[in-house]
């Protein structure tokens, strides 16, 4: 017993040390401040508070209620929303609550296919996607324009009508996605969605921080009625989910979150979300601006070096992500592994057209790079040029030791969490 105990502690320490000398470029990840991390270890993590503030199923909630009300109020302010539910324990759970509120099993939802940037939580049953497998939704795909790396407005309008006249009950049109370079045409399509009797929704799991910082798009302002998101991708953590929406859906959404898709929610996480939202109110705008600028500098520098960066006709990216076709270096699976061995941590990525080309999730054509975390660790434009240089070197050489040394050098001065009130060390478990 004692042995395993020690071993686990040691593995956690090894993980922290590894990440402290690596380039964390996974686009869905970020790093939380010490204050946010500390509250996750508070007594709140031991308690039950099923239900809504003031309507709890358990005693002992007088402070928890106040914390949760603050968290909701901050979320409403940040996203200019009429209603917020901060209880979902993840982005996928938030989506499931949205599906349950707006549709019944057998209804249809439109979303992006996975190679075009969609997420498995909006996937079909045959792929074990949450929407299909758990809620019984039938999925129709947006028409996607590969050249522009965005939803095709005119073709999607036609498809909305076609789906409606086929007799399917189209209830939800879910904008947003996981490979997400450019704002989606919510303003252009919201009326067409309403005309066919569906609710325009937006999955901001990846871009919630950019939205909260006012630097991407404002889905609710542009016509989406409901927005769900993760709280740890471009937001500052903890891991979790949140739903914001128009007031008219509030009562039903509350029931879908509890008791529909959870019993107790994670109270320590609600406190951490509240702290994170207040960090975001103060630092979010500058952070989101710097993240997008960093992604653009990284993309441009890589393209100058001959790397095939997607989205060229629109300046490569307007988000935290850079998408790269790596087929000339093997495939996304080979590159992901090679770079991981060089302490560069990022993901392989299915790209539009991959399935037609016979590629698959394990050996897709691309990689996806995110700069949210490096930005929060204080890296700016000049560091992005160096990151591009190191990435290019990693793609084109086998000299792992040389790459690792450069990576370690790049990280030496970037060990603290910026855009925070506490300027805390990013790694303190070592
Ligand atoms: C990551 C992601 C989710 C799921 O979020 P979790 O917090 O990991 O459950 C949902 N939708 C999209 C588009 C995502 O990228």
Q: Of 223, 105, 108, 246, nearest to 164 (Cα)?
A: 108
Domain-located, residue 162? yes
Rounded CA separation 209/199 (Å): 23
Domain-located, residue 150? yes
Residue 127, pLDDT score: 96
Burial group, residue 6, by CB count within 10 angstroms (0-12, 13-18, 19+): exposed
Domain hosting 50: range is 37-278
Atom of ligand 1 nearest to the CA of 240: 7
pLDDT in tens, the chain (430 residues): 568 999 999 999 999 999 999 999 999 999 999 999 999 999 999 999 999 999 999 999 999 999 999 999 999 999 999 999 999 999 999 999 999 999 999 999 999 999 999 999 999 999 999 999 999 999 999 999 999 999 999 999 999 999 999 999 999 999 999 999 999 999 999 999 999 999 999 999 999 999 999 999 999 999 999 999 999 999 999 999 999 999 999 999 999 999 999 999 999 999 999 999 999 999 999 999 999 999 999 999 999 999 999 999 999 999 999 999 999 999 999 999 999 999 999 999 999 999 999 999 999 999 999 999 999 999 999 999 999 999 999 999 999 999 999 999 999 999 999 999 999 999 988 7
CB of 234 sitting under 6 A from ligand 1: no
Residue 1, pLDDT score: 57
Domain-located, residue 116? yes
CB of 28 sitting under 6 A from ligand 1: yes
Domain-located, residue 30? no
CB of 231 sitting under 6 A from ligand 1: no
| CATH code, domain with 91 | 3.40.640.10
Domain-located, residue 80? yes
C-alpha separations of 258 from 80, 188, 224, 238 in Å: 23, 34, 23, 20
Radius of gyration over every alpha carbon of the chain, rounded to an integer in angstroms: 21
Q: CB atoms < 10 A from the CB of 157, how many?
A: 18
Which residue owns the Cα nearest ligand 1 atom 1?
205
Burial group, residue 344, by CB count within 10 angstroms (0-12, 13-18, 19+): buried
CB of 130 sitting under 6 A from ligand 1: no
Domain-located, residue 72? yes
Domain-located, residue 400? no
C-alpha separations of 426 from 37, 102, 411 in Å: 10, 40, 12
Domain-located, residue 183? yes
CB of 121 sitting under 6 A from ligand 1: yes
Which residue owns the Cα nearest ligand 1 atom 5?
91
Atom of ligand 1 nearest to the CA of 176: 13
Task: Ligand 1 pocket test: pick from 26, 119, 122 the residue with the most ligand atoms within 8 Å of its Cβ.
Answer: 119
The strand pair at 144-145 and 150-151 is best described as antiparallel
CB of 112 sitting under 6 A from ligand 1: no
CB of 177 sitting under 6 A from ligand 1: yes
Cross-strand pairs, 322: 369
Sheet bearing 366-370, strands edge to edge: 308-309, 321-325, 366-370, 347-349
Grouping H, G, I as helix, E, B as strand and the rest as coil, residue 386 is helix
Preceding omega of 199 cis (within 30 degrees of 0): no
First-to-final CA distance of the chain: 22
Atom of ligand 1 nearest to the CA of 122: 11
Number of structural domains (the chain) is 1
Atom of ligand 1 nearest to the CA of 94: 9
């Amino acid at each position: 017993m004692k042995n395993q105990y020690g071993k686990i502690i040691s593995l956690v320490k090894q993980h922290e040390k590894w990440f402290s000398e690596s380039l964390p470029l996974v686009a869905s990840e970020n790093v939380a401040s010490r204050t946010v991390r500390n509250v996750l270890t508070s007594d709140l993590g031991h308690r039950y508070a099923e239900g809504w503030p003031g309507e709890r199923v358990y005693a002992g909630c007088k402070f928890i209620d106040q914390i949760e009300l603050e968290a909701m109020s901050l979320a409403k302010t940040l996203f200019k929303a009429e209603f917020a539910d901060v209880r979902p324990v993840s982005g996928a759970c938030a989506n499931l609550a949205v599906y349950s509120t707006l549709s019944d099993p057998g209804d249809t939802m439109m979303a992006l296919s996975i190679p075009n940037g969609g997420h498995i939580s909006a996937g079909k049953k045959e792929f074990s996607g949450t929407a299909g497998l758990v809620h019984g939704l039938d999925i129709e795909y947006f028409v996607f324009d590969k050249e522009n790396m965005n939803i095709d407005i005119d073709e999607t309008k036609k498809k909305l009508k076609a789906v409606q006249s086929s007799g399917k009950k189209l209830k939800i049109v879910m904008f947003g996605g996981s490979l997400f370079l450019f704002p989606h045409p919510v303003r252009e399509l919201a009326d067409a969605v309403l005309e066919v009797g569906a609710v325009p929704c937006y999955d901001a799991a990846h871009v919630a921080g950019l939205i909260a910082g006012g630097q991407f798009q404002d889905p609710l302002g542009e016509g989406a009625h409901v927005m769900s998101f993760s709280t740890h991708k471009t937001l500052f953590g903890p891991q979790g989910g949140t739903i914001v929406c128009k007031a008219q859906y509030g009562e039903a959404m509350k029931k879908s979150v509890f008791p529909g898709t959870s019993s107790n929610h994670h109270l320590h996480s609600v406190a951490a979300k509240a702290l994170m939202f207040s960090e975001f109110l103060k630092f979010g705008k500058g952070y989101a601006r710097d993240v997008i600028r960093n992604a653009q500098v990284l993309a441009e520098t890589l393209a100058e070096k001959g790397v095939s960066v997607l989205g060229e006709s629109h300046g490569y990216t307007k988000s935290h992500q850079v998408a790269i076709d790596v087929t000339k270096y093997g495939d996304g699976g080979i590159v992901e592994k090679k770079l991981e061995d060089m302490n560069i941590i990022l993901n392989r990525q299915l790209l539009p057209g991959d399935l037609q080309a016979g590629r698959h999730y394990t050996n897709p054509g691309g990689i996806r790079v995110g700069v949210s975390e490096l930005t929060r660790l204080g890296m700016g434009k000049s560091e992005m040029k160096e990151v591009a240089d190191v990435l290019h070197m990693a793609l084109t050489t086998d000299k792992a030791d040389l790459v690792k040394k450069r990576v370690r050098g790049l990280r030496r001065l970037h060990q603290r969490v910026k855009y925070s009130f506490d300027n805390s060390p990013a790694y303190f478990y070592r």
